[in-house]
A and B are shown apart, each in its own frame.
Chain A
């Protein structure tokens, strides 16, 4: 187990990166504490898998250092970094039995057979693989295979961290829940640092204590699921997390009061001044938009029922605003006024949260 630090890290797949866009990972410093459960969340191509490969050692960063417990491991190959990785598509050694698969990393490291046996059985019990130990790994279902690849990481007692690269992609939906709670449970019992890459916010939010949101090679926010939901530091986080995502509307500032299309929008987080921002926006989640007697005039465009709540699409001029209303709530007919909850309305300058 280890604390993982990234110092001045930067990576490009090009030989000679020139512009900022050439960097797949833009400069970052980060500290991940020992035993934490982290999720790297972001859309495809945001650099999360690159970051994971750098931590595991499959990629050497163009610039910067990676430290495990203060020790520089930047130039150490993957097998000596003592990390385990579970890939998107389950990797099992087809010709071996489940038992041999689990024993493989231990045997490769020259462990005595008696010790191997104890370890393999312990992990098999943990993952509910006991009754298939003698089976060949090739014929198993995707979720069992994924458990085996996880098991190959868990058998090694010296692992610094277990990395997951979108491990549930090929798993059937009804098994995803089971496997996901299994992971959470394992994290609590084993206490190894776990880093989980995904583009699925539900997976990230349910698995991790800390979610690292990435966008175009940059870490835009690190925080608990509650942080990300209530205090998105960047409009991207607001969009990406939450279903539907945050409403982002252009605004102007008059003193400390933001105005949206001439209507004042009170907020508990007044801006200290507009700085030099080229673009000012207010962000408010659909959960915190409600119908009111006065405020922003809107037309109701569409209503979709999402089970225990309804999503109301509203239009103000060319701007679309979403509102969440409880199931069965009476809605105004065509036009109405809405207001934003001042405790959850924030001002963003060039995408970044102010105040």
Chain B
């Protein structure tokens, strides 16, 4: 098709989508941009501030600290959930009744609303009345996630691993099931070890689904809000105040709309940038 026919009315067909995207993405985003470069004291009175808020956010130690906490949290949960998810997927039965049972069990945590997960783990981990809290303390550890930063991190990470490893498991499992039997048979005949089968057959065949798993887990965990908010409220102190929690504190707690808008945009760009980096890194080998 080299001859393109101009057909101006075609725009009419695209219009509904354009309108929809404008209303749910572009207009709210522009509002944020609007706030990020101005100062307002209410009453719809605005003063132009330029890049002042951006400079302020980027230079603030508070932002650096939350960003660092966020990176650490995301790094830790990725380092746990991805290998753990692959390991569980590898050990799950491949067919029959138990395969279905395992899949349903795996899907359960994913079906629970986020704030319910937070509330569940809050009660579960309370040192006085929670089962987990009681057990850990019973084992001789001094554990109280409402007062000890390390305990708070431990609980938050455990909660996230419990909630989201299933997603990695299901994706990895789907990837594994798509490998034809002939590959395993050929590997057997070639005398490949279990590790070689994993390294040269299973891992390469899972690559695409794992890319999706890593991207999804990265984005979700980087934007995590509800669960730690319900579990620890960002505390003790600021120990578990991740970027979203911090942002809400600035925007709705302190009502600093300008800095909050600037922070939102920076936050958004970081997610976008890191996602792009992950994606290109993981897809690069594919193209060689």
* Chain A residues in the interface with B (C-beta under 8 A): 56, 58, 77-79, 83-85, 87-89, 91, 93-96, 104-105, 108-109, 136, 149, 152-153
Contacts and interface: CB of A to CB of B under 8 A. Distances in A.
Q: Which of B183, B191, B288 has the most CB of A within 10 A?
A: B191
B258 to A, nearest CB: 50
Interface of B: 180, 182-183, 185-186, 188-193, 196, 200-201, 204-205, 285, 288
Contacts of B190: 79, 104-105, 108, 152
Contacts of A96: 200
Contacts of B186: 85, 87, 91, 149, 152
Given A108-B193, A108-B196, A79 B183 contact: no
Contacts of A152: 186, 190
A136 B285 CA distance: 11
Nearest to B192: A108
7 contacts: A56-B185, A78-B185, A79-B188, A93-B204, A95-B204, A108-B196, A152-B186
Contacts of B196: 108
Given A89-B182, A105-B191, 14 more contacts: A77-B188, A78-B189, A79-B188, A79-B189, A79-B190, A85-B186, A87-B182, A88-B182, A93-B200, A94-B204, A96-B200, A108-B191, A108-B192, A136-B288
A90 to B, nearest CB: 9
A91 B191 contact: no
Nearest to B205: A94
Contacts of A153: 189
A327 to B, nearest CB: 43
A58 B204 contact: no
B191 A87 contact: no
Nearest to B201: A93
Contacts of A84: 189
A231 B183 CA distance: 40
Identify the 7 closest CB pairs spanning chains A and B, nearest first: A87-B182, A108-B191, A91-B186, A79-B191, A105-B190, A93-B200, A95-B204
B200 A95 contact: yes
A50 to B, nearest CB: 13
Most chain A C-beta atoms within 10 Å of own C-beta, residue among B180, B189, B196, B288: B189
Contact of B189 (A83, A93, A94): A83
A58 B192 contact: no
B189 A56 contact: yes
A91 B182 contact: yes
Interface centre among B183, B185, B186, B190 (most CB of A within 10 A): B190
Contacts of A93: 200-201, 204
B192 to A, nearest CB: 6
B189 A85 contact: yes
A93 B197 CA distance: 10
B191 A58 contact: no
A153 B190 CA distance: 8
Contacts of B188: 58, 77-79
Given A93-B200, A94-B204, A95-B204, A104 B182 contact: no
Contact of A91 (B183, B193, B204, B288): B183
A312 B205 CA distance: 53
Given A95-B200, A95-B204, A96-B200, A89 B189 contact: no
Contact of A109 (B183, B191, B204, B205): B191
A87 B183 CA distance: 9
B95 to A, nearest CB: 14
Contacts of A87: 182, 185-186
Contacts of A136: 288
Contacts of A89: 180, 182
A79 to B, nearest CB: 4
| Residue of A79, A93, A104 ringed by the most chain B CB atoms within 10 A | A93
A91 B204 CA distance: 13
Contacts of A88: 182
B201 A58 contact: no
A211 B220 CA distance: 60
Q: Which of A58, A85, A91, A94 has the most CB of B within 10 A?
A: A91
A95 B199 CA distance: 9
Contacts of A77: 188
A95 B204 CA distance: 7
A89 B185 CA distance: 12
Contacts of A108: 190-193, 196
A130 to B, nearest CB: 21
A96 B196 CA distance: 12
Which of B182, B192, B196 has most A Cβ within 10 Å? B182
Most buried by A among B186, B193, B288: B186
A306 B217 CA distance: 62
A58 B189 CA distance: 9
A89 B183 CA distance: 9
Contacts of B204: 93-95
Contacts of B288: 136
Nearest to A53: B185
Contacts of A94: 204-205
Contacts of B285: 95
Contacts of A58: 185, 188
A165 to B, nearest CB: 8
Nearest to A85: B189
A96 B288 CA distance: 11
